[in-house]
A and B are shown apart, each in its own frame.
Chain A
Amino acid sequence: MDVLRAREVPLTSEYDIARARQMVRAWALEISLGLVDQTKIVTAASELARNTVVHGGGGAMFLELISSEQRKGLRLTFKDNGPGIPDIQVAMEDGYTTGGGLGLGLSGAKRLVNEFVIKSAEGEGTEVILIKWKLVTHD
């Protein structure tokens, strides 16, 4: 897998969440992701960026344009040094919330992308990696 381009977006405030969304949309347009997939990856980015700001106490998003064999894609890595998630399995369940939200952020975001990896431990921060592929069709 090759990284064609990378960019770091700091996430510390509400304003940064909007900026992260805009960046993801711009890059999704660049690899001509379809409108539905664009909306999906931007929504997933919005969820995780908010988690980073609200639960992780701030962090950053690493935005990468990647390519592998026949396809191109976006890889988003969200990192924070917050309190971490004690039980990932529970956190990934629909409806589980600590902050009074709908509890669909993590599980929902996972359903919106092609690949989803979450690493977290109590007191060690959280890292979430999302990949959305754009399939190249040959005719």
Chain B
Amino acid sequence: MKRQKNLVATMIIEHEGELLIDWLEERSRRNTNLMFNSGLFNKEEFERQASDLLKIFTKGLKEDTVLDIATDEWAEMRDYLSELSNDKAAKGYSATETAIFVFTLKKPLFKLLSREIQAHPEQLTNDVWEITALIDQLGLYITERFIKNREEIIARQQDEMLELSTPVVKLWEGILVLPLIGTLDSTRTQIVLESLLEKIAATGSNIAIIDITGVSVIDTLVAQYLLKAVTAARLMGAECIISGISPQIAQTMVQLGVRFTDVSTKANLSDAFAEALKRSGVVVTKRQESF
């Protein structure tokens, strides 16, 4: 068996030029118009990557004992495919477009095999079967890497969003505002609460406005989180004002039975700010223009 696989590898090396031409043709045929139009497809890049892949492919075939890309013999191939998949993902290719790169090698390779091993049909069937199984594995592996890469990007963005969505802003000496936006799940609320309490301690503020204009649903859990935030802030000596309760949220909360009894609430942030200034003893007046 080993000798025959060497034969396939030798064949690939001998006819590399021809294979690359056929591969490119097959690749172009399988291309979506969209990709050509968007100018994503780059002939030189394809040829370079195709040629690199063939080199590593033949290397794997030569030393091979088993045609399983999970084995050590194929470590170099796996590394190359991971790199390739990262590169494709970064350039905006889809998962299908990435996998097609590998799968389109099949046809030209079979063409070559059937021409060269014509005389031994049994041998041909065997080789074709093995190469199919191998290329399938490569295609699946590159797809898997591609998805993994996307998942990593999503996880990173989630982390970034957690950080981004919880700014505590100082509005005035002793007055902080925490604008809440989107969905308040338990992880986010925890971070929100922590950053509010830290900022209260750091600035020595005694009034914190929690603005919920950007929160679309206040269910009992969110309400409970808000009440906990208010209680914790109070323990640190700061009073909270909740602002931005829309008419529909107000009606929903009443029917839900949630009561913000000992918390001051205001319809909008500007009213809450005015209230906070009043409590701090700051008076805002319009300047009298005298001419």
Contacts and interface: CB of A to CB of B under 8 A. Distances in A.
Given A18-B183, A36-B248, A102-B223, A108 B217 contact: no
A113 B155 CA distance: 36
A21 interface: yes
What is the interface of chain B mostly: helix, strand, loop, or mixed? helix
Contacts of B223: 102
Contacts of B220: 47, 101-102, 104-105, 108
A104 B258 contact: yes
A14 interface: yes
A136 interface: no
B223 to A, nearest CB: 7
A119 B216 CA distance: 29
Interface string A6-27: 0000000010011001000100
Contact of B256 (A18, A101, A111): A111
Interface in A71-90: none
A36 B252 contact: yes
A107 B220 CA distance: 11
B155 to A, nearest CB: 13
Nearest to A97: B220
Interface residues of B, number: 21
A134 interface: no
A42 interface: yes
Q: How large is the interface on A (under 10, 10 to 19, 20 to 34, 35 or more residues)?
A: 20 to 34
A38 interface: yes
Contact of B186 (A14, A40, A105, A109): A14
Contacts of B255: 40, 108, 111-112
A13 to B, nearest CB: 10
B219 interface: yes
> Which of B218, B247, B251 counts the most A-chain CB atoms under 10 A from its CB?
B251
B52 to A, nearest CB: 39
Contacts of B252: 36, 39-40, 43, 112
B219 A46 contact: yes
Interface string A31-71: 00001101110110011001000000000000000000000
A102 B258 contact: yes
A122 interface: no
Interface of A: 14, 17-18, 21, 25, 35-36, 38-40, 42-43, 46-47, 50, 94, 101-102, 104-105, 107-109, 111-112
28 contacts: A14-B187, A17-B185, A18-B185, A21-B183, A25-B216, A35-B248, A39-B252, A40-B248, A40-B252, A42-B217, A43-B217, A43-B218, A43-B219, A43-B252, A43-B256, A46-B219, A47-B220, A47-B256, A50-B221, A101-B221, A104-B256, A107-B257, A108-B255, A108-B256, A111-B256, A112-B252, A112-B255, A112-B256
Given A50-B221, A105-B219, 14 more contacts: A17-B185, A21-B183, A36-B247, A39-B252, A40-B252, A42-B216, A47-B219, A47-B256, A102-B220, A104-B256, A108-B220, A109-B256, A111-B255, A112-B252
Closest A-B pairs by Cβ, 6 of them: A108-B256, A39-B248, A46-B219, A111-B255, A36-B248, A104-B257
